[in-house]
């Protein structure tokens, strides 16, 4: 038997596929060619069938699918910790919105995305789903960084730095869809901000556009009690009920947050096969309430995890989100068997991919899927000894244990060295922007 030459082999280590059957190969091996996984299994078997032009030794390490951050606003890394421990309204109205009004620009967004990309790659995230302004610049920054992204320009009724009218906003979204539909790393989407910041018409036009391009459609839904109360006062319906009436719920629709949901809301989400993104650390910190994940899962609703922005979190660390989700839902349920480790891990991998409609090619290590692979060091005191690899990953591993990151078959971080981003320059520029922001407060 002649072995087949491929681009890259990841050799040895514990290979946690995080597939539907939770297959684990120990020692395992992964063969990647043309950006896709072509061989996967026990070391011996794969070694016999393939030889790699590049070989990464993962002996004694953990090999797993890269993590998926299903909701963030990447450029807001530049506002990281700008205003903590404040009521949501003060935070938003006195700090975030004024800062955005003053500072938002394509350059700002690009720099913030590069900073976010460095943090995400370092912490094992291989794909994030973003909603912000100037998303074309975000797509370009991610392409340069070798990081996978779902981009969606926030659609809002009011004028902003990115566009003046909802019509221009839709045009911007359509331009994104046209430009990026065939990219290997960038997935364009349509993202109305929320049922309170986008009109019914804008949400419906956005949905038509998303469907036309077969793209994901995401929006913030029922994040706060007051949002739900105001929706009922104004429209006689909860936000989810209203979205159903507007005919924008579907399998490709994603409700971000979905914190304050009625039983009827949950039934609607299940019925329309609409996914939900839970952002545990941001939801805790803003005290807005928590997505009722166990109830949603029980109803058959897809749930992925996200960090939300670094302005309300304050990091973009999916290891932290998994651990927090697994712990906090046990407490809420009063049941230590609630939200077991596998569930938390799958919400950051395969389930997150399902929510975004990308599970046919992302979210687990399987032959035919894209080569999005991370390798974790296990030689650290907090990871010794190891009785169960999955619970270890969720309850003990830290983002800093990620050593090597491969996205679409390309090594973007090797032994903690970032290969696609100049951190020194990014940090210097981010610090300078922060200095200017702080200086501008004094002059108000």
Q: Which of residues 329-388 bind its own copies (CB under 8 A)?
A: 330-331, 333-338, 340-341, 379-382, 384-388
Helical pair 106-122 and 135-145, crossing angle rounded to 10 deg = 40
Q: Half-sphere exposure of 206 toward its Cβ, with a 13 Å CA cutoff? A: 37
Using rule CB under 8 A, residue 326 touches its own copies: yes
Neighbouring CB atoms inside 10 A of 337's CB total: 7
In angstroms, the CA 27 to CA 60 distance is: 9
Applying the rule CB under 8 A, the residues between 247 and 286 that interact with its own copies are 281, 283-286
Peptide bond into 441 cis (omega under 30): no
Q: Are 309 and 282 spatial neighbours (Cβ–Cβ below 8 Å)?
A: yes
Compute the least distance from the CB of residue 43 to its own copies, in Å: 20
Nearest in space to 191 (alpha carbons), one of 278, 18, 287, 73? 73
Which C-beta is closer to its own copies: that of 179 or that of 342? 342
Using rule CB under 8 A, residue 442 touches its own copies: no
In angstroms, the CA 13 to CA 254 distance is: 35
Q: What is the phi/psi pair of residue 136, to 5°?
A: -65, -35
Using rule CB under 8 A, residue 97 touches its own copies: no
Using rule CB under 8 A, residue 98 touches its own copies: no
Which C-beta is closer to its own copies: that of 49 or that of 332? 332
Applying the rule CB under 8 A, the residues between 388 and 417 that interact with its own copies are 388, 391-392, 395-396, 398-400
Applying the rule CB under 8 A, the residues between 109 and 128 that interact with its own copies are 115-116, 118-119, 122-123
Applying the rule CB under 8 A, the residues between 280 and 319 that interact with its own copies are 281, 283-287, 289-290, 310, 313-317
Q: Are 433 and 103 spatial neighbours (Cβ–Cβ below 8 Å)?
A: yes
Using rule CB under 8 A, residue 105 touches its own copies: no
Using rule CB under 8 A, residue 419 touches its own copies: no
In angstroms, the CA 349 to CA 2 distance is: 34
Which C-beta is closer to its own copies: that of 207 or that of 260? 260
Residue 141 burial by Cβ neighbours in a 10 Å radius (0-12, 13-18, 19+): buried
The H or E element spanning position 127 is strand 125-132
- Count interface residues toward its own copies (CB under 8 A): 72
Which C-beta is closer to its own copies: that of 33 or that of 321? 321
Which C-beta is closer to its own copies: that of 364 or that of 399? 399
Which C-beta is closer to its own copies: that of 105 or that of 171? 105
Compute the least distance from the CB of residue 217 to its own copies, in Å: 29
Compute the least distance from the CB of residue 88 to its own copies, in Å: 6
Q: In 3-state terms, what secondary structure has residue 190?
A: strand
Using rule CB under 8 A, residue 198 touches its own copies: no
Using rule CB under 8 A, residue 224 touches its own copies: no
Pinpoint the alpha helices (H) of 272-385.
Answer: 280-285, 293-298, 318-333, 341-347, 350-355
Neighbouring CB atoms inside 10 A of 167's CB total: 11
Compute the least distance from the CB of residue 376 to its own copies, in Å: 13
Using rule CB under 8 A, residue 433 touches its own copies: yes
Figure out which of the listed residues 194, 324, 346, 420 binds its own copies, where binding follows CB under 8 A: 324
Compute the least distance from the CB of residue 212 to its own copies, in Å: 37
Compute the least distance from the CB of residue 178 to its own copies, in Å: 32
């Amino acid at each position: 038997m002649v072995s087949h030459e491929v681009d890259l082999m990841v050799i040895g280590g514990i290979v946690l596929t995080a597939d539907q059957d939770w297959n684990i190969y120990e020692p395992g091996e992964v063969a990647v060619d043309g950006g896709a996984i072509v061989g996967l299994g026990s070391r011996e078997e794969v070694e016999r069938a393939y030889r790699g032009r590049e070989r990464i030794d993962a002996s004694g390490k953990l090999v797993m699918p890269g993590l998926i951050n299903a909701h963030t606003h990447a450029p807001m890394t530049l506002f990281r910790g700008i205003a903590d421990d404040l009521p949501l309204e003060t935070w938003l109205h006195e700090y975030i919105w004024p800062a955005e009004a003053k500072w938002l620009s394509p350059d700002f967004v690009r720099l913030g995305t590069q900073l976010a990309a460095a943090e995400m790659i370092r912490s094992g995230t291989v794909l994030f789903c973003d909603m912000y302004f100037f998303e074309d610049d975000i797509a370009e920054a991610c392409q340069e960084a070798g990081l996978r992204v779902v981009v969606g320009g926030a659609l809002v009724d009011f004028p902003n730095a990115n566009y003046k009218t909802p019509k221009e906003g839709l045009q911007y979204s359509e331009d994104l869809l046209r430009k990026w539909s065939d990219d290997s790393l960038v997935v364009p989407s349509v993202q109305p901000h929320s049922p309170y910041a986008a009109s019914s018409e804008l949400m419906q036009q956005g949905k038509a556009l998303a469907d036309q391009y077969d793209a994901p459609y995401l929006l913030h839904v029922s994040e706060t009690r007051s949002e739900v109360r105001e929706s009922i006062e104004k429209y006689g319906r909860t936000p989810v009920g209203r979205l159903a009436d507007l005919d924008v719920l579907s399998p490709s629709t994603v409700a971000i947050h979905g914190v304050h949901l009625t039983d009827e809301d949950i039934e609607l989400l299940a019925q329309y096969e609409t996914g939900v993104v839970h952002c545990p650390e941001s939801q805790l910190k803003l005290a807005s309430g928590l997505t009722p994940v166990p109830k949603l899962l029980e109803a058959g609703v897809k749930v992925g995890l996200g960090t939300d922005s670094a302005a309300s979190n304050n990091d973009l660390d999916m290891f932290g989100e998994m651990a927090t989700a697994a712990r906090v839902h046990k407490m809420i349920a009063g049941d230590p068997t609630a939200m077991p480790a596998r569930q938390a891990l799958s919400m950051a991998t395969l389930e997150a991919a399902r929510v975004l409609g990308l599970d046919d090619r992302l979210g687990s290590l399987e032959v035919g899927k894209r080569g999005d692979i991370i390798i974790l060091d296990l030689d650290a005191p907090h990871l010794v000894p190891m009785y169960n690899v999955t619970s270890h990953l969720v309850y003990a591993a830290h983002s800093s244990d990620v050593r090597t990151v491969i996205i679409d078959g390309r090594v973007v971080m090797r032994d903690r060295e970032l290969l696609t981003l100049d951190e020194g320059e990014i940090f210097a520029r981010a610090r300078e922007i922060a200095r200017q922001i702080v200086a501008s407060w004094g002059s108000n």
